[in-house]
Structure 1
Amino acid sequence: MTKRLLVIMTALCLLLSCFPLAASAAAGDSVEIKLTIGSPTVTINGTASKIQPPVKENGTTLVPLSIITKAFGAKLKLEKNKIITLTYNSTIVVLTIGSNDVKVNGTVTKLSTAPKIVNSVTLVPVRVIAQAFGATVVPSGNLITITGKVAGEAAATNSGGLSGIDTDAGKTKVGDSYYGWSMNYPTDLSLSYQSDNGNWSVWSDGSGDPSVIVSVSDVEETLTKQELRDHIQTYFDDNELVMEKKTISVGGVSYEKMVTKSRDGWFFEYRGTQKDSRIYTVMSGAKAATRDALNKYQDLLDSFALSFNKSDRTLKDVTKVVDGLITIHDEDYGLEVKLPVQWLRDTESPTPLFFNADEGLIDFAIKSVQNNETAGQWRAAERAKLEKEFASDYIRNFEESTITLKNGQAQVLKYEFSWNKTKWITEYDVFLIAGDHKYHISFYSLKEDGSKGKGLFDTIVNSLVIDTKYVDGNFSEMDDEDLAGQVIKKSSKKYGYSIELPATWTAEDKDFEQDSVFYYTDYGYFQLTVADNVTASSYVNWYKDYVSADKDMKALDAKVTQSTTTMINGNLITRVDTVLNEAAKPYSDSMYLFEKNNRLYIVQFTAPQAYDTVAYQALNTQVLQSLTFN
C-alpha cells in the first residue's frame, strides 16, 4: 500500500474519537452530559456510551473533545495538526494541543492544563469550553454534569467536510451513490480522507493510519484476471511481499484477493473486482506481528456490495458528486469551485489549476490592483499582448463581454488559437477586480462543439466563489516587476564572449563558463553552445545528415529549409533553418553559427510556428547583434 496512505489525516482521527450519539439532536434542543473522572462511560440525554476516561490534572478536568463537538453540535476546524477551532453559534474557541493559551472570541486567557492526546484521543479542558458555549458545569465528587443546548446550526464536521462515521444515528451502512457501492457501517472507524471526486475514501482508527480504503478506477476495457491483479499491485509499495494470491467469491461477486506484508511491519489485504467500466478495490491494513490482525476487517470487507440502494434510510451516502459536479476548496487562495467529476486538481501547481485531458483546463491567478486600474483596461492590455504574441493566422474570433459572478462584475475575453491551424482551442479569460486584488481566471476548452464548451465554461465560472476578504487580509502586492524591454548582460571568460538576453527569459542552464546554456524565452527556447575545433561547414553537414537519418527527427517530420551565410556585426555567420512539422504543434528552429578563435559558437532559437511573428524575429536579431567576442 502506498506510503502516502499511512500518513493521511492522522490529526483528524485524533480529534474524531468514536462514540455514538443516542439520537440526532436538533438545533436548540437541551443536552445533558454526565461523566465521571476515570470512568469510560458517558451518558448523553440518558444514553450511555464508551469513551476515553476523563482525567483531572492541576484541578482541571480534561474530557474527550468529541463529547463537545458531537453533543453540542459545535463545528470543528484543525490547522497544522494541533490548532483546534470550535465554533458554537457566534462563539469561537481556539485551543492548541500542548499550549496553555485559550482564545474565546479573540480574548486570550491561560489554562492551568493544556489540551493533550491520550491513547490517540484529544482531551480538552471541559469547563472553559462549556461555559463559552453558555453551558453549566456542576461537579459532585468525581461526577460532572454538563447542561446546555445544541448549536443553532448543529454540525459534527470539520472544515474539510469529513466526520466521524459514528455520528449518524440509525445508520448501519455506508456507500457512494455516484460510484454505486455500499458496505456495513464501520462503527469503530472514522472517514478520515476522500479525494476531490470521492473515488478514493479512507477510514481510519484512532491511530491515524488507514484501516479500510475503497478505491474506484475507470477503465475502457474488460480486464483479465491477471490484469486485475496487476491493477491491484499498483497500490503496493516496493517492499511489499505477496503472501496470498487467489480468486474468491463473496455475495456472488468474484474478487481477486491478495494479502501482503511490508518490510516495516504492515499487513494488507486487497480485493479487486470489475463491474462494467469500473474497477472497485477494497483494502484493509494493520501494523501487527501477524496477519491475524486483518481478521477484524473481514466482516466489513465481506459486506462490500456493488450497489447503492437510495431508498435505504439506514445507508449513509458519502458521495462528493452532486448533479455530476464536485465542489473543490482551495483554502490557500480562498477559492471554491464546482467542476465535472472527471476533472482533476494539479497538486503540483503552486496556483489553483484543474484539468481534464479531453475537455480542457482552468487556472487561477491573483495580482494586486495598480493605479486605479479597471477590469476593462486590464482586458484591453491582455488582448494587445495576445495580438502581438501570435501570428495573425493562428488566432481569431475575439469576443468581449461582461459577466456577473458571485464576487461582482467581471470582463471576459473569448478567442480561439491554434498551434497547427487545424485544431482550434477556445480560451475564455475572465478579469475580475474586487477589493485590493484582481483575479485572472483562464478557461481553455478543448470541445469541438462550441456550445458545449460555452456551457462548461458557464457552469464552472458561475460556481466560482472567492473569499476576497481572506485574500486582501493575507495577500499583499502581487504584481511582477515589469521587465519588458530590459536586458541582462551575460559573459563567459572561458569562452570569450558576451551576450545580452531579455530579462523576461527564464534560465534552465545558466552557467556561462560551461559549453552550453539554455533559456525558456517568451516564445520558446534559446540555446548557446560552444564547440572547440569544429568548423561551421562540418557542423552543418553533420546536422543535415542527423535531421534526415535520426528516427526522432523523422517522427517530427523535420526538414532543413535553408542554409545561408550573412554578416552580423562584421562576423560571417552561417544560418540554418529547420521546420519540425509535427502534427500537433509544428516548430521552427533557426541556428546561427559563428567561427571565432578555433571555436564554433552556435546560437539557436526554437519556437512554435504560431509564435513566428515580426516581433519574435526582431527580438532574435537584437540578441544576435548583442553577441560580442573578446
Structure 2
Amino acid sequence: MRKWKSLAKKSIVSAASVVLIASCLGAAPIYASESNSEVPAVVEQNTPSVVAIIGKPTSDTNKSWEKNRYNLAHGTGVIVESDGVIVTNAHVVKDMKNIVVVTSNGTTYNGRATNIDEESDLALVKIDATNLHAATFGSSSDIEVGETVAAIGTPISFALRNSVTVGIVSGIDRSVNSQYQLIQTDAAINPGNSGGALINMKGEVIGINTMKYADVGVENLGFAIPVDTVKYVLNHFKLYGKVKRPYLGVELEESWEAVVGLPSSTGLRVAYVDPDSPAAEAGIKQDDLLLSVGGTSVKTMVDYNEALKKYLPNDSVEIKLQSGAESVSKTITLGEAQSSETASIDDEEGSDIDADRGKTKIGDSHYGWSMKYPSGLVKGQQSEEGDKVSFADAKGEFYLSIEVESNLSDELSPSALLNKLDGSDTQDYGASTTILERQYVKQDKAPYGKIVGRSGDNGYVQTRGYLHNGKLYTVKLYVAKEQYNNSFKQNSFNDLLDSFQLSFDSKDEALKDISVYSEDGATHTNEYGLSLDLPSGWEESSYKGGTSFYNDDYSQNVNVTVTSASSGETLKAWVERESKNFENEYVADYRKIEHPEALTLAGVPALKVAYSQTYGDDEWDAGYSLYFIKDKYKYEIDFTYPGDEDQDEVSKTLGELTSSIKVDKNLMDKELGFIQDIHELMDPDRTVTYKNDKYKYSLHVPETWTIGDAYDDKDEARKNFYFNGGNLTIQADTKESYEDLVKEEDASQKKNHDNDSEYTYSDSEVTLPSGEQAKKYVVHYSYDKKPYQETVYIFHHNHISYTATLHISDAVRTDENEARLNKAFDSIKFQDK
C-alpha cells in the first residue's frame, strides 16, 4: 500500500529512544557528488540558517496523551530574516504548542507560530533574536533535473538535528498530494526533516522539504516545495498576514488520464457550483468543462491552482469553458477564498515546553489528594469527572491508578475494607491473585487497608484503600516481576505509595493540580467538524438521524443534522423549503413560524427561524432552527423546548449555544462524501404498495409514512401505517362476522356518546371504491384536550371481516394530509379481483 507521509512525526525524545534509533540506522547511499568539495562548503554556509523546532503536540481525542511531558513533536525550519523569522511546514506547527527553536550553535529560544497556510503547507515561526544567519533563496526557473542538492534537517530524533543528506533533483513540476507543483529528490528525507532546506551547490535554498513516499522496497523518494511557491506565500504573509487566494466557487474533477498521470487533453469537469459564488453568478453549471484560466491551459488541479496564484481577490480573469457542445469565454471578478486563522498555541500552564518543570508533587484539588511526582511519572487515562486516573512510568517499570468512590460510610470496619479491596483487586486485573500480604495499617494521619498479590506469573499488585469523609481512595501499583524482585526498586515503589496523602495544599507551588472536575458544560465536536458548547448536565442520546442532546428532564433538546449542499443550493432556498414543509404539516391555528432572522454562525451567513406547534391542548412545543452552509455542507441545529419555558432561560441557553458554534474542516472525517438531503428529494404524495398476502389485500400508502404492527401480530392481522399526528389501521378478522362487528361498533359508539356529550359521531352505509358495502362512522372528539377526527369503516370480503380506522389530529388535518389519508384507504384492493 502506498503511503504519503508528512514528516512532522511525533517522537518521544529520551535517551533510550536515541540509543534505539542509532542502533537502527544503516549506511546511507553513496553518491559521487558526496566526494565533491562543493558539498562541505555549501553545508557549512547554510547550516547556520537551519533550525530545529520542537514542541508539545495537541490531541483532540486523547488529552492525557497531550499532557505527557515525554510526548514531543519536532521538525525543522529555515531562517528567512535575521531578526528571528523562520519558515517551516504548516503541518509541523499547526497542532504544536509551547514551541522551542534550537539554532545550529545550540542556542534555545521560545517560538510562536505567527502565520499558517495549510494549502501550501507553509508557516512562519517568530523567535526573539537578532543577527541570525538568514538563508539565500534561489529561483525555481534555475532548478535542473539531475543537479546535486543537499537536504538539512532534524530526522527521526531531536538529537539528530542539523543532519545532512545529499542527492540530486529527480524531477520538477511534480503533482503529489499538494495544491501546487513540487520538487522530487532522492536526497534522504525522513520524519522530522519537514520544514528543512533543500539547497543547491550555489548555497541557495531551492525548496522546503515537505513529504516522502513510503512503501516496502521504495527508497529516497522525497518532495520539497519549490522556492517560488515559498516566496509567493511569504510575500502574502508580509503584505496581508495570510495568503489571499482568489475564489471562483467551483469544485473541479480531473479526467481519468490526469488522475493516473497520463497526458490529458481534457479540461476539468465542474462537479459542483457553490451557491452565491462568482461562478454561479456567471452562469457556470455543473458538468461544464474548464479549459483555461487567464490564458493558461488547465488540465489538472495543480494547473488550476498554479494559474490562480497570478491573481488576487477582486481581480478579473477570463475563463474559457466548454458547455455542452459550445465553447464559451467569461470574464469573472474573483472572490476571496476563506482561510482559517490559526493562532499560536501555548499550554494553559505556561509557554515552557515542560509545563511540569519545578513540580515535585501531583494531586487533585477537588478530591483532595496528593503524592510525590517522580520525573518519569506520566499521566494516562483520566475520567471526565476526575474520579479515576492512571499513571505509568516513562520507562515502563510500573503502572499506578487512583480511584475515588463517593457516598461510602467512614464506619466501614477494617475487615470490611480489606474484603472490599480484595474483591476489587480481583475484578480489576481479571485473574486469580495469590495474596502475599493483607493487613490493616494503623497510623495517626490516615490508616489504610493494604493487600499485596501476585497476578499470575507476570507481576505484583499492591492495593491500598483509605476511607476519608465518605469516600474510598483506592491506590493500586502494578509492578512487573523482575522489578518487584529488585529490592532497590521495591523501596522506591513503596516510597511513592507512602507519599500518598489525603490533602491538597493549593498554596504549594511545587504541587501540580490535575483536577478536571467542572460544573460547566462540555464542548461537543462531531465528524463534520462542527463543535458547540452544551449546558452542564446535558447528555447525548442514541438518536440515529443526527446528533441529539437533552437536558436532565428531557424537556429541552438540541439536534444537529448535517447534509451536503447540492450544486447551486442557496441558504435562502433551503430555509424557504424547510419553512414551507413545516407550514404544510400543521393547520394554521396550530402553528406559529416567524420570518427568518439573519445572523452569522461559524463565520458565515446564517438564518434563524423561531417556530412552535400544538395539538390543541394549550401546550405548545417551541423551538429555534439555525441554518448555515459551509465547506459544501448544510448544518441545521434545532433547539426545542416547552412553549411555557422561562424565556430568559431559553434566550440564555440559545445565546450560549449560538456563540459557541464553530466549524473546523480539519476536524472533519477524511472519508466524508456526499450526504444527500432527503428533504430535497422527498415527495409526500409518492406512494409504495403494501401487500398482505395472508389476508388478501393491498393498498398504496405514502412512502413517507411508517409501516408497522400495532401489536405483536405475527399473523399480520392488524397493520398500522403512521404519519405525524395520525395513522391508518387495518384489522382483519376471520372469526367474527360483519354483522357482529357492526353491532359491537354501534354499541361502542353509542356508549361513548352517552358517557360524554362532546363525543359526537355519525354513521352511514357506503360503497367502497373497491365495490364492498361498508358501515362508516365519523367521530369528532378531544382526547386530553387534543381534538381529532376518526373515521371507521367495517366491511367484509370472502369470509374475512375488516375494520379500517383513519385517525387524524385536527392540528395536522390540512386538506393535503386528509386527502392522502383518504386516498390511501380508497386504494385498498383484494387479490382475487
TM-score class, shorter: 0.5 to 0.7
State the match for 1:73 in structure 2: 55
State the match for 1:459 in structure 2: 656
Please give the residue correspondences for 1:156-555 in structure 2 after superposition, counting only pairs within 5 Å: 168-174=356-362, 185=373, 190-193=378-381, 203=391, 212=401, 214=403, 303=500, 305=502, 309=506, 312=509, 314-319=511-516, 321=518, 324-330=520-526, 332-346=527-541, 349=544, 351-358=546-553, 360-370=556-566, 372-396=568-592, 398=594, 400-418=596-614, 421-446=617-642, 448-468=645-665, 474-480=672-678, 481-508=681-708, 514-523=716-725, 526-535=728-737
**Whole-angstrom CA distance in 1 between matches of 2:747 and 2:411:** 47
**Whole-angstrom CA distance in 2 between matches of 1:495 and 1:605:** 19
**Whole-angstrom CA distance in 1 between matches of 2:55 and 2:455:** 41
- Matching residue's letter, 2:630: A
**Whole-angstrom CA distance in 2 between matches of 1:268 and 1:543:** 75
Fraction of identical pairs, as percent: 21
What is the CA-CA distance between 1:625 and the residue it aligns to?
A: 0.8
Q: What are the Cα deviations for residues 167-191 of structure 1, in whole angstroms up to 9, with x where unaligned?
A: 7333345556677776665866644
What is the CA-CA distance between 1:367 and the residue it aligns to?
A: 2.6
What is the CA-CA distance between 1:521 and the residue it aligns to?
A: 2.7
Answer whether contact 2:11 2:73 (CA < 8 A) is retained: no
State the match for 1:30 in structure 2: none
State the match for 1:66 in structure 2: none
Call closer, same or farther: CA 1:181–1:475 in 2, change over 3 Å: farther
Classify the secondary structure of the residue corresponding to 2:558: strand
Call closer, same or farther: CA 1:450–1:156 in 2, change over 3 Å: closer
What is the CA-CA distance between 1:324 and the residue it aligns to?
A: 2.6
Call closer, same or farther: CA 1:130–1:223 in 2, change over 3 Å: same
Call closer, same or farther: CA 1:191–1:502 in 2, change over 3 Å: farther
**Whole-angstrom CA distance in 2 between matches of 1:425 and 1:469:** 36
For structure 1, the residue ranges without an aligned partner over 5 or more in a row are: 1-14, 21-34, 43-50, 61-69, 95-103, 107-114, 116-125, 137-151, 548-558
Answer whether contact 1:73 1:155 (CA < 8 A) is retained: no
**Whole-angstrom CA distance in 1 between matches of 2:743 and 2:494:** 70
The TM-score with structure 2 as length reference comes to: 0.47
Classify the secondary structure of the residue corresponding to 1:494: coil
Answer whether contact 1:225 1:256 (CA < 8 A) is retained: no
Answer whether contact 1:175 1:182 (CA < 8 A) is retained: yes
Call closer, same or farther: CA 1:285–1:313 in 2, change over 3 Å: closer
Which structure carries more relative contact order (alpha carbon 8 Å, separation 6+)? 1
Call closer, same or farther: CA 1:519–1:192 in 2, change over 3 Å: farther
- Matching residue's letter, 1:170: G
Call closer, same or farther: CA 1:41–1:377 in 2, change over 3 Å: closer
Q: Which protein shows a greater Rg?
A: 2
Classify the secondary structure of the residue corresponding to 1:132: coil
Answer whether contact 1:201 1:214 (CA < 8 A) is retained: yes
What is the CA-CA distance between 1:260 and the residue it aligns to?
A: 12
Aligned pair 1:572/2:774, yes or no? yes
Q: What are the Cα deviations for residues 40-96 of structure 1, in whole angstroms up to 9, with x where unaligned?
A: 486xxxxxxxx9786426559xxxxxxxxx992152669999xx99777525479xx
State the match for 2:24 in structure 1: 56
- Matching residue's letter, 2:828: L
Please give the residue correspondences for 1:619-630 in structure 2 after superposition, counting only pairs within 5 Å: 619-630=820-831
What is the CA-CA distance between 1:388 and the residue it aligns to?
A: 2.7
Answer whether contact 2:556 2:639 (CA < 8 A) is retained: yes
State the match for 1:10 in structure 2: none
What is the CA-CA distance between 1:515 and the residue it aligns to?
A: 3.8
Which residue, 180, 190, 194 being the options, matches 1:132?
194
Answer whether contact 2:591 2:614 (CA < 8 A) is retained: yes
For structure 2, the residue ranges without an aligned partner over 5 or more in a row are: 1-8, 29-51, 66-71, 77-87, 94-119, 123-155, 157-187, 199-342, 750-757
**Whole-angstrom CA distance in 2 between matches of 1:250 and 1:507:** 69
Classify the secondary structure of the residue corresponding to 1:334: strand
Answer whether contact 1:73 1:156 (CA < 8 A) is retained: no
Answer whether contact 2:89 2:195 (CA < 8 A) is retained: no
Answer whether contact 1:588 1:608 (CA < 8 A) is retained: yes
Instruction: Name the count of aligned residue pairs.
Output: 509
Call closer, same or farther: CA 1:468–1:299 in 2, change over 3 Å: closer
Answer whether contact 1:177 1:310 (CA < 8 A) is retained: no
Call closer, same or farther: CA 1:482–1:600 in 2, change over 3 Å: same
Answer whether contact 2:75 2:195 (CA < 8 A) is retained: no
Give the alignment's Cα RMSD to 1 decimal.
6.3
- Matching residue's letter, 1:500: H
- Matching residue's letter, 2:774: L
Call closer, same or farther: CA 1:337–1:439 in 2, change over 3 Å: same
State the match for 2:109 in structure 1: none
What is the CA-CA distance between 1:563 and the residue it aligns to?
A: 8.4
Which deviates more from structure 2 when the two are superposed, residues 420-429 or residues 403-412?
420-429
